[in-house]
Homo-oligomer: A and B are copies of this chain.
Amino acid sequence: MKKINTSKISGTQELLPKEQIIFDNLKSKIANTYRSHGFFNIETPSIERTETLLAKAGGDTEKQIYKVFKTAETTDESDQALRFDHTVPLARYVVEHESNLTFPFKVSQIGLNFRGERAQKGRFREFYQCDIDIIGRNSLSIAYDADIISTLLEALKSFNINTPILARINNRKILTGLIQAFNLEDKSKDIYSIIDHSEKVPFEKTRSNFEEIGLSPENVDMFIDFINLSGNRSFIIDKLKNLNIHNETMSAGIEELDKVMSLLESMHLADNISADMKIVRGLDYYTGTVFEFILPDHKEIGSICGGGRYDNLTKYFSDQSFPGVGGSIGLTRLFYVLNEHHLLNQNIQSSALLDYAIIPISEHEFEYAFEIADKLRHQGHTATVILTDKKLGDKLSHAATLAQSGIVIGESEVSSKSLQVKNFTTGTTTNLQV
């Protein structure tokens, strides 16, 4: 009988062991891809000074922050809270350690973030974000934008989910330039906001939103046509150039988009990318390249990864300029939706079991069982020895819940050194050489 409530608190993830293995495997795949692409991992503390976390933030962020305090409080300590993303701690880290870093600094962060969001299905208060960023000192080549996007694509492709992955890519300078060219700078925030929400509302609503902010009918048509532009690089770059708009910012944006996408093509990722003028990624922060990944056959899932280029990571912490580009996979939410959509294939599932369970019939065979387990582990296998003092039948049933194969060891096996491996799934038996 339970004495107290033993459920986890709401808005957190708690998995059974066989689900946890799959989650951990995906996390390892991301970490290995980031590492193999030359990103250096760092881990900042979960707890930061509240003033650091809120240096740039405001509004919703401040409301969602988790403050922490010790029950035995001492007066010498500042107001502290749990980090809500990896960006603010990274900015602090770069300023603090810049003399020990080499730039461009390719950095990954895989860890828990905390947000006191309203608990609801698929929304988490404690969740893994898997970020990569490349930070330059004073300047950073546009080619690194492609480095970020390709690494994130490779990380997600390594999941072997049997559905395509598409990176929708844009450059905010294009829209900014377009707004300038039409002298609509005073409506810039509204236009960005309407486009940012355009996929969450019915098509006609976007049109009426543009009308409501006072755009002329011609301009409404123009923006509607503009945000519907999406497709492969050469098609979109042609379309954008054919608009014949003479604005330096817009031209720079088109050139950058062309460059990033052609680099991605040269990495044989043409099938995974699409230029898309609907992608703006919120109101501020990003200043050039922006991207969002989706699963085109499961559009209802929405964005599974996003990021972009920012002018200066550290503007709230330092007077130096550290431009950067980065992106993030929200693994806890992604794992949740992939499970909901049955997209984690059997291949991954079977890895949940151990390779071998070794079943000594009695204590007399423990020593030999340990020896066999040790040899199997040195060959890279996972192995457990069943040490209960139950009947053989019970030991075998227990073994079958843990491992793919079982090896029973009795007196005759010890004397003959000849072992039989039973595959619990197929029921077949083979001889083992260790």
Contacts and interface: CB of A to CB of B under 8 A. Distances in A.
Given A116-B71, A126-B45, A387-B147, A37 B377 contact: yes
19 contacts: A4-B51, A4-B52, A8-B44, A8-B92, A9-B45, A9-B78, A13-B43, A16-B97, A16-B101, A17-B42, A17-B107, A20-B42, A38-B402, A45-B126, A47-B114, A63-B72, A104-B387, A144-B387, A266-B370
Interface stretch (A196-204, A214-222, A301-309, A316-324): A316-324
Majority secondary structure, A binding face: mixed
Contacts of A150: 370
A44 B2 contact: no
A266 B387 CA distance: 14
Given A40-B21, A370-B266, A384-B38, A9 B49 contact: yes
A370 B267 contact: yes
Interface in A221-276: 263, 266-268
How many copies of this kind of chain does the complex include? 2
Interface residues of A, number: 103
A361 interface: no
A292 to B, nearest CB: 23
A268 B22 CA distance: 33
Contacts of A52: 4-6
Interface in A31-84: 35-38, 40-49, 51-52, 55, 62-72, 77-78, 80, 82
A205 interface: no
A342 interface: no
Given A21-B41, A63-B70, 11 more contacts: A2-B317, A4-B52, A6-B95, A9-B77, A17-B42, A63-B71, A102-B402, A141-B389, A143-B387, A263-B366, A266-B367
B80 A71 contact: no
A383 interface: yes
Contact of A96 (B7, B320, B374): B7
A382 B143 CA distance: 19
A385 interface: yes
A26 to B, nearest CB: 13
A397 to B, nearest CB: 9
A66 B67 contact: no
A51 B385 CA distance: 37
A70 B65 contact: yes
Q: Report, nearest first, the 7 A-B pairs whose CB atoms are least far apart.
A: A38-B384, A70-B116, A12-B45, A17-B40, A143-B387, A266-B367, A63-B72
